[in-house]
């Protein structure tokens, strides 16, 4: 399944631009609206989709994504229904990569072998599991690679040159550089520092390097795109969902377009960044 990821980054390189990687939470604000958003993302400019698996204790996520997970869980979203979202998406799109992002506990409870088989069958391309370090690769990373799924690893501002080879050892698909120390959506990154960090990581790997955490605007996307292979936006899109809801927290006629309008603007920013470099 890594072929879709490789093809999409190759396409972006061929067009001399950074890829736009968009994050939404599966089942937020409800399953049907989440599927509508998912289906609309590629047309709005998303190159790769990270689909968050809701979890009750999302330690790396800031308030926006925590609240999105709680909205989804309230409406019954689960690993099973998240895979159903991917299947429904794949019925109409066989080209856009989907990477499931989340925590190990729901996968462990579901059963690792069963999860990997079902994820592959549904059309998932890769996994980002934020609470499994390289020392635990035998738990999920190596089985995922054997099953044909990419296993995307996170590098952070504290990942020095001694630690980096361990982080990269079994990483596939792309490397996700966390631009700030802390939780998602917490601050705006220092783009000069990020560019230097991306260049350092690229000296250690041929994989695409994407940058996320704190990217909220087209201007942010443009700044990141000057040096990175991809720009990840998550909390800003989840906030777009939240602010579109009615007083009872239900989707409105504006919910899908609130997300896709922002994605279109971010995609334009990512493209302009490389042109300005």
pTM for the predicted model, two decimal places: 0.95
Report the candidate in 38, 109, 84 with the shortest Cα–Cα distance to residue 255.
38
CATH 3.20.20.70 fits 2-276, yes or no: yes
> Coil, helix or strand for 167?
helix
Residue 190 has a pLDDT of 83
For residue 74 the two structure tokens come to: 């309230």
Select which of 30, 47, 50, 239 is catalytic: 50
Placement of tokens 């809801």 in the chain:
245
Report the candidate in 189, 212, 112, 200 with the shortest Cα–Cα distance to residue 160.
200
Active site residue 84: no
Interval 43-89: pLDDT, tens: 999 999 999 999 887 777 778 888 899 999 999 999 999 999 999 99
> Coil, helix or strand for 241?
helix
Active site residue 61: yes
Select which of 61, 125, 137, 239 is catalytic: 61
Interval 161-217: pLDDT, tens: 999 999 999 999 999 999 876 555 556 778 888 999 999 999 999 999 999 988 899
Interval 13-45: pLDDT, tens: 999 999 999 999 999 999 999 999 999 999 999
Percent of all residues in the chain with a pLDDT value above 90, rounded to a whole number:
84
């Amino acid at each position: 399944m890594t072929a879709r990821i490789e093809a999409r980054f190759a396409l972006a390189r061929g067009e001399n631009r950074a890829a736009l990687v968009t994050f939404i939470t599966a089942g937020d604000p409800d399953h049907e609206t989440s599927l509508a958003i998912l289906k609309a993302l590629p047309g709005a400019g998303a190159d790769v989709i990270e689909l968050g698996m809701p979890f009750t204790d999302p330690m790396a996520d800031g308030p926006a994504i925590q609240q999105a997970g709680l909205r989804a869980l309230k409406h019954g979203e689960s690993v099973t229904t998240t895979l159903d979202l991917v299947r429904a998406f794949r019925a109409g799109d066989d080209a856009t990569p989907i990477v499931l992002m989340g925590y190990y506990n729901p996968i462990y409870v579901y059963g690792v072998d069963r999860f990997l088989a079902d994820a592959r069958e549904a059309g998932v391309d890769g996994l980002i599991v934020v609470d499994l370090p390289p020392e635990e690769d035998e738990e999920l990373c190596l089985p995922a690679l054997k099953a044909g799924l990419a296993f995307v690893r996170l590098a952070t501002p504290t990942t020095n040159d001694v630690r980096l080879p361990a982080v990269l050892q079994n990483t596939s698909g792309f490397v996700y550089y966390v631009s700030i120390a802390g939780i998602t959506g917490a601050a705006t990154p220092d783009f000069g520092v990020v560019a230097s960090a991306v260049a350092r990581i690229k000296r250690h790997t041929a994989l695409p390097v994407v940058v996320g955490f704190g990217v909220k605007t087209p201007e942010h996307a443009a700044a990141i795109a000057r040096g990175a292979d991809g720009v990840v936006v998550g909390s800003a899109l989840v906030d777009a969902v939240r602010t579109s809801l009615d007083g009872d927290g239900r989707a409105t006629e504006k919910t899908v377009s609130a997300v896709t309008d922002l994605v279109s603007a971010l995609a334009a920013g990512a493209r302009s960044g490389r042109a300005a470099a």
